[in-house]
Amino acid sequence: MLLRPVSNLFPIHVSNVDSNNIYLCCQKSKILVINLPTLNITRYIDIGKGATGSTFGPYSNKIYIPDWSVNGVKVINTTTNTVTNSIFAGFRPTIVGFEDPHKLYVLNSYFESGTNGTVSIINDNSKFVSDNMEVGNTPSDMLIDPIHHRIYVTNEGSPFAEKPNGTMTVIDSRLNKILGTLAVGRDPIQMIQSFGGSFDNPTNIIYVLNRESRDISIDANSNKTIAKIMLPSSPNNMEINQKTNTIYVLHEDGVSIINATSLKLIKTIPMTIARQMLLSNTNKIYVTHEGVNEKYFGDVISIIDGSTNSLIPTNLVNCDVSSVTDSKSFWLKCSGPPSKDASLKYSIETP
């Protein structure tokens, strides 16, 4: 495992482009190219101050990064490890995603009271915006469903403008047409999608997390709300294990565990001022929260075993969860050099 100190305002994004290299975005306006066999940084790619995340282009050798400073997307060629182009999309882009290898969607948030956001469509080959679709005020998240050709955008709304607070915009990605708008609760911040059920009776459910302390479930086939699950406190993040059909919701008081089939709350694991959460490929849930013991004061990492939904003892401290690139590579964002006590009591690399 690599513990490397980094410092930035946004969460770390890790792109696993091949078996030998990963691209870690963004550290002091740079992307770090890390060689996995040696765990050495082999290159720094200067990308500017406005980059907020990254996504790896499917079937291509490109990484796309939304960048506020250029009001668009920067394109990095992973063969030459250079920024090759900047594509203007819209003001304050925050999220990029694909439906097919050469159709790129960019969510432009604006963050101005009374102004709606947009979704820009870019042809990867031409590098030009082919269409812009207006969504709601202050969009917060975008989910792309390539199977059903749908794009979902949650809109937080604005208390200072005459705009609905807490909506979801549904888009037909084949026609580039807005199908409708749904009410999803105050201040929606995140969406995840579940494909469960059987082959003959499949389910297609979207879960919307909002700050009304609710996890709202929507039937994506009918675009109707099917359940509202009350949470102990205002949530920050959620993850879903598609294999076990279990949802984990992070809130300030800990982690709530929900059965995604019955839509019932299973249990809540209390933690003091929980901050970040990550579900690994090995069915372990990593949570950073405030912790105090005789040796350390500050954030600690607790680990939940997804098979039993119980805590696993660990004394890893002084780090925030970051990203999992595969079943063997786990990355941490550390606020400083790892403490002598920052060691795991077991191996997290073992699938």
Buried b (16+ CB within 10 A) or exposed e, 290-310: ebeeeeeeebbbbbbebeebe
Least confident of 21-30, 42-51, 260-269, 271-280: 21-30
Rounded to the nearest integer, the mean pLDDT of the chain is 78
- 276 vs 267, higher pLDDT: 267
- The single-letter DSSP state of residue 345 is S
CA distances to 56, 60, 109 from 72, rounded to whole Å, are: 16, 19, 11
Q: pLDDT tens digit string along 196-206?
A: 654 455 568 89
Domain 13-275 coded CATH 3.30.1340.10: no
Evaluate whether 128 touches 87 at the Cβ level (below 8 Å).
Answer: yes
- Asked if 248 and 304 count as a contact pair (C-beta separation under 8 A), the reply is yes
In the chain, list all ranges with CATH 2.130.10.10. 13-275
Over the stretch 130-157, which tens digit does the pLDDT of each residue have? 888 999 888 999 999 988 899 999 998 8
> Averaged over 302-327, what is the pLDDT?
71
Q: What is the pTM of this model?
A: 0.84
Rounded to whole angstroms, the maximal C-alpha distance in the chain is: 60
CA neighbor of 240 nearest in space, from 283, 187, 186: 283
